[in-house]
Amino acid sequence: MLRFFIFLSLFTSLFASTVDRHKWENGESYLLFLQRNNLPTKPLYYNLDRDDRQLTEEMRSGIHYQILRDTKGNIEQILLPLNNELQIHIAQKGNSYSFEVIPIISTTKTEGFYTTITSSPNYNILKATGSNKLVQIFVSSFRHSLNFKNNIRRGDKLAMIYTQKYRLGYPYSMPILKVAMIEMHHKKHYIYLNSNGRYYNEKGYEVEGFLFGRPIPGARVSSPFSKRRWHPILHKWMAHNGVDFAARRGTPVHAAGAGIVIWCARAGTYGNLVKIRHADGYETRYAHLHAFRRGIHRGSHVKKGQIIAYVGTTGRSTGPHLHFEIRIHGRPINPLHIIQIATKKLTGRKKRAFLKLKKSDNKSIALILQNKTTFKKLPPFQNISYVHLVKDKNGEN
């Protein structure tokens, strides 16, 4: 039975629990975490099925997690985020503890700010916000279209609007840049997130600099990327870390980009799997293959578009298809956001829709500049007393 974990603040309670916020340390494994907190490893690790045990390996350094303790300091519940949508929920059950994967309850806010350049965009965004994530999404978006090193001047302005998810009142996950502006030599340069999930400049040209090709040209997407999906067979929450392309058995599979094959063998539920390492920390995965192309093996150098394997239904698969993943530094991302499309310039109805979006975004940036909107930093997290309410899928306590 799925159980949702909800914190409700209580002004006065003799039975309040305390929520502690911690950061997952570099090098710590899930099993070590259990042992360090004197939690039973048999029900919380060794008795888990293969899929859930693999999920526990996705805990990454820097992630903030919460521990709910009673007035005596005993652990009652724990929330360990796995990605933007799913988290491990450990709950006290009698004399032992239970394990389940549940959705993350979050809210999304649209935020924005401006700052003046005194050194570089990297330095001034970090100084204004304290957020390396905001530095990353701003600089990477302009990386292939503007030269910050030679063309930026002291006194130039920048502004950005983005969406940020909040969990238990605090931001988590990467923010998503909606629109950004940077002034260079008194000329404003913009970048916009269009409705198709790609970034464009003022003229409607795509500004992505590193794009992958489709592994099966023209194939239909039969199952999309999802960080949170209720599995119809296993009856539990799982992430679908790639996209499935419908294709007949034996259909050629092409390398989405140039790189080096780092895996070419059977791999559990993936079935026959090929992994290719690309530049800038990217990795692509091609699963459920019928066979590998002759000459493709670990260590092979492949070109973009080269045939590497053939569609099959090996591993956990209900029928012939290609499961395709793209990861950046080990983290899965939606392949449909960065696979190459036929044109890099918007035209016709799509261009008109973009111009409408651009007009609205420009007004929002102008308001931020006019009001000199600064970044609002949150106060440091403090341990607070809460009462918790656990509900099942039908809303019952």
pLDDT of 16 reads 61
Sheet with 107-116, strands from edge to edge, namely: 107-116, 157-167, 170-184, 187-193, 199-200
pLDDT of 388 reads 43
- Judge if 322 and 348 occupy the same domain: no
- Judge if 200 and 235 occupy the same domain: no
pLDDT of 330 reads 85
Structure tokens belonging to residue 131: 């957020």
pLDDT of 207 reads 78
Give the C-alpha separation, 101 to 56, whole Å.
10
Which domain range does residue 114 map to? Answer: 107-209+343-371
In the chain, the number of structural domains is 3
- Judge if 160 and 260 occupy the same domain: no
CA nearest 5: which of 75, 94, 104? 104
378 inside domain: no
- Judge if 348 and 203 occupy the same domain: yes
- Judge if 273 and 304 occupy the same domain: yes
**If DSSP states are collapsed to H, E and C, what string results for the chain?**
CCEEEEEEECCCCCCCEEEEEEECCCCCCHHHHHHHCCCCHHHHHHCCCHHHHHHHCCCCCCCEEEEEECCCCCEEEEEEECCCCEEEEEEEECCEEEEEEEECCCEEEEEEEEEECCCCHHHHHHHHHCCHHHHHHHHHHHCCCCCHHHHCCCCCEEEEEEEEEEECCEEEEEEEEEEEEEEECCEEEEEEECCCCCEECCCCEECCCCCECCCCCCCEEEECCEEEEECCCCCCEEEECCEEEECCCCCEEECCCCEEEEEEEECHHHCEEEEEECHHHEEEEEEEEEEECCCCCCCCEECCCCEEEEEECCCCCCCCEEEEEEEECCEEECHHHCECCCCCECCHHHHHHHHHHHHHHHHHHHHHHHHCCCCCCCCCCCCEEEEEEEEECCCCC
- Residue 196 φ then ψ, to 5°: -90, 5
- Judge if 241 and 321 occupy the same domain: yes
- Judge if 199 and 114 occupy the same domain: yes
State which amino acid sits at residue 397. Answer: N
225 inside domain: yes
- Judge if 326 and 224 occupy the same domain: yes
Could you say which of 337, 355, 386 is where a domain stops?
337
Could you say which of 283, 318, 337 is where a domain stops?
337
Give the C-alpha separation, 155 to 181, whole Å.
14
234 inside domain: yes
- Judge if 228 and 325 occupy the same domain: yes
Averaged over successive runs of 10 residues, the pLDDT of the chain (397 residues) comes to 38 57 91 95 92 85 89 91 89 91 91 93 93 89 71 88 90 91 88 88 77 85 82 73 92 93 94 92 94 94 93 90 92 79 75 96 96 85 46 40
21 inside domain: yes
pLDDT of 233 reads 60
pLDDT of 196 reads 83
38 inside domain: yes
- Judge if 101 and 177 occupy the same domain: no
What CATH number has the domain bearing residue 88? 3.10.450.350
